[in-house]
């Protein structure tokens, strides 16, 4: 479940690189606007419902080359202990060795390896996700929402959505499968500011 969120955070950070409108600047550096970014995940629970959650502590930055998006890059780090599903007892279990093992593996990391444009406002970002000491490739579908100056502070902001999925068992997180699904769905709503 937490893996999904991490992936989500990585996808969000790279989306702007894929879709920004060309400008006179070859490359821009961006930082995630944390209060306005959400890294969410959900899993099926026994076929009855989907349990959703998010990560509260993360950081991400990227370089966006508007003239050649393939030269863009992104890096993200997520605190596994910051998982929140709205139920304290479940969150404590998710931090245990059965799931994220947050004491031994306090962070998840994502580093892009490929950014490609698939449409006017769509693209894919592929990178390496490291979770529980295991590193595997992950690809996210991204949609560029908007890039423009903020009406108050005049800084340039870029907004995007990233979605994807992964199998938690690929990272060694096999507890209670299939009662809680192996597949984790990820959704990231991200806002980034040029710096």
Prediction pTM value: 0.82
How far, in Å, CA of 162 to CA of 171, rounded?
21
pLDDT at 89: 98
Mean pLDDT (the chain) is 87
Question: What's the domain range around 139?
Answer: 2-194
Mean pLDDT in residue range 93-112: 97
The count of structural domains within the chain is: 1
**Residue with token string 């990178």:** 127
CATH of residue 115's domain is 2.40.128.110
pLDDT at 17: 42
pLDDT at 26: 54
In the chain, the percentage of residues whose pLDDT exceeds 70 is: 86
Mean pLDDT in residue range 33-54: 96
**Residue with token string 């390896």:** 113
pLDDT at 6: 44
Phi-psi map region of 101: left, alpha, beta (phi>0 left; psi -120 to 50 alpha): left
Mean pLDDT in residue range 14-29: 51
Mean pLDDT in residue range 101-119: 96
If we measure between CA atoms, which residue out of 70, 55, 67, 56 comes closest to residue 14?
Answer: 70
| Across 12-21, 25-34, 61-70, 127-136, least confident range | 12-21
pLDDT at 146: 87
pLDDT at 152: 86
Report how far apart the first and last C-alpha atoms of the chain are (Å, whole number).
32
pLDDT at 9: 44
If we measure between CA atoms, which residue out of 139, 141, 158 comes closest to residue 149?
Answer: 158
């Amino acid at each position: 479940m937490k893996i999904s969120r991490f992936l989500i955070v990585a996808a969000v950070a790279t989306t702007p690189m894929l879709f920004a409108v060309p400008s006179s600047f070859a490359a821009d550096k961006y930082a995630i606007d944390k209060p306005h970014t959400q890294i969410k995940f959900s899993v099926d629970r026994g076929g009855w419902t989907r349990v959703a959650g998010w990560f509260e502590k993360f950081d991400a930055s990227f370089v966006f080359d508007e003239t050649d998006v393939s030269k863009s890059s992104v890096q993200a780090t997520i605190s596994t202990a910051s998982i929140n599903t709205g139920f304290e007892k479940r969150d404590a279990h998710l931090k245990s060795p059965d799931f994220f093992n947050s004491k031994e593996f306090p962070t998840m990391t994502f580093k892009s390896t490929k950014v490609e444009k698939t449409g006017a406002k769509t693209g894919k970002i592929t990178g390496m996700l490291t979770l529980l000491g295991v590193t595997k490739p992950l690809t996210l579908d991204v949609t560029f929402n908007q890039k423009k100056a903020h009406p108050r502070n005049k800084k340039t902001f870029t907004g995007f959505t990233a979605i994807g999925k992964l199998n938690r068992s690929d990272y060694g997180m096999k507890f209670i499968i299939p009662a809680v699904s192996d597949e984790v769905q990820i959704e990231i709503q991200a806002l980034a500011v040029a710096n």
